[in-house]
């Protein structure tokens, strides 16, 4: 009974996905009007590339988009990781299909060897592995985005220091931003340079491009920096003291995060030491416990 229900549910879901891909639902009139009247968003500064994953899983991307994937938070994480949305959705679909098919392939190999696990075990294992494969890209993107945001904040602290030093030397705001970005190296400075180059090409102010980059990467410190610099660029405010205070705050936050990471690593090390100590006590107490039990 369980195999029949499992196969029926899988076949029904597969047919529904196939029909949704072949015959997509017609959008409502309100959605059409919203697309026509919507203002065109600026071109993203950070974009992801196309690889073989998106090529093989391209057929499943419209279906997953119709389901509302990915969310706003995941989209920001994808921008930070410089990974395309289509690649992310295709990887979710391919990993889910691989997890669903892997137990059946193992079942076929065992059947050729004369062994059989039945149909319930591959079916349940396939559903579990498919769910895990569908969630693995989310966990990977979030972990990578968290790490890259931390690295970007560390680089932003150095960038603010360089801007402040350049402003103290008598340079203008735009020249200070360009010189500070040209000195640094790494992915964070590459993104900042790309944002400043985009501002030059589009004839916009550099602080607007930095603000857009901060919104795309979901880094509030960069947006706050752009707001502070815009005061100097538009209203002539003196921001050297403000930038020095912001750089100090970023360094303090960086030290606090490093101390928190070190404390977390220390707490994680306590568990292996405790288990090792308990195992050592078990080896010592085992002979005495056996003697007591045998004497009863």
pLDDT score for 39: 47
Contact 196, 175 (CB under 8 A): no
Q: Cα 37 from chain centroid?
A: 31
HEC assignment per residue over 200-237: HHHCCCHHHHHHHHHHHHCCHHHHHHHHHHHHHHHCCC
Question: Over 80: is that where the pLDDT of 237 sits?
Answer: no
Q: Check residue 49 and give its pLDDT.
A: 47
Query: Per-residue confidence at 236, pLDDT binned at 50, 70, 90?
Result: very low
Q: 30 versus 76: which is more confidently predicted?
A: 76
Rounded Cα–Cα distance for residues 193 and 16 (Å): 46
**Is it the case that residue 232 has pLDDT exceeding 70?**
no
Euclidean distance between CA atoms 86 and 62, whole angstroms = 9
Residue 15's pLDDT is 62
Give the per-residue pLDDT at 53. Answer: 66
Residue 28, Ramachandran bin (φ over 0: left; ψ between -120 and 50: alpha; else beta): beta
113, exposed or middle or buried, with CB in 10 Å at 0-12, 13-18, 19+?
exposed
Instruction: Give the span between the Cα atoms of 252 and 154, in whole angstroms.
Output: 11
Print burial letters for 24-44: b (CB count within 10 Å at least 16), e (below 16).
eeeeeeeeeeeeeeeeeeeee
User: Among 125, 61, 106, which residue's Cα sits nearest to residue 87?
Assistant: 61
**Average pLDDT, stretch 117-142?**
87
Q: What is the pTM of this model?
A: 0.65
Intra-chain end-to-end CA distance of the chain, in Å:
51
**Average pLDDT of the residues of the chain:** 79
pLDDT digits (tens, 9 = 90+) for 142-155: 999 888 888 888 88
Contacts of 183 (CB under 8 A, 6+ apart): 162
């Amino acid at each position: 009974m369980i195999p029949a229900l499992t196969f029926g549910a899988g076949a029904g879901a597969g047919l529904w996905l196939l029909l949704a891909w072949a015959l997509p639902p017609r959008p409502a009139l309100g959605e059409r009007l919203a697309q026509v009247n919507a203002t065109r968003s600026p071109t993203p500064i950070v974009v992801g590339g196309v690889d073989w994953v998106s090529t093989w899983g391209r057929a499943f991307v419209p279906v997953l988009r119709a389901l509302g994937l990915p969310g706003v938070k995941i989209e920001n994480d994808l921008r930070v990781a410089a990974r395309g949305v289509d690649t992310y959705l295709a990887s979710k679909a391919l990993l889910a299909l691989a997890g669903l098919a892997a137990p059946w392939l193992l079942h076929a190999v065992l059947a050729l060897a004369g062994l059989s696990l039945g149909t319930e075990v591959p079916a349940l294992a396939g559903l579990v592995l498919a769910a895990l494969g569908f969630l693995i890209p989310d966990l990977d993107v979030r972990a990578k985005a968290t790490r890259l945001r931390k690295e970007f904040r560390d680089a932003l602290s150095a960038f603010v220091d360089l801007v402040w030093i350049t402003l103290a030397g008598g340079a203008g705001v735009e020249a200070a931003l360009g010189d500070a970005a040209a000195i640094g190296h790494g992915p964070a400075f590459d993104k900042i340079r790309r944002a400043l180059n985009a501002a030059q090409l589009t004839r916009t102010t550099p602080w607007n491009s930095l603000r857009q980059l901060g919104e795309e990467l979901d880094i509030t410190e960069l947006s706050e920096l752009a707001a502070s610099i815009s005061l100097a660029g538009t209203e002539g405010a003196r921001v050297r003291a403000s930038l020095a205070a912001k750089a100090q705050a970023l360094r303090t936050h960086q030290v606090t995060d490093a101390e928190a990471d070190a404390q977390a690593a220390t707490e994680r090390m306590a568990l292996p030491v405790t288990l090792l100590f308990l195992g050592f006590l078990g080896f010592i107490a085992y002979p005495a416990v056996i003697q007591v039990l045998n004497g009863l």
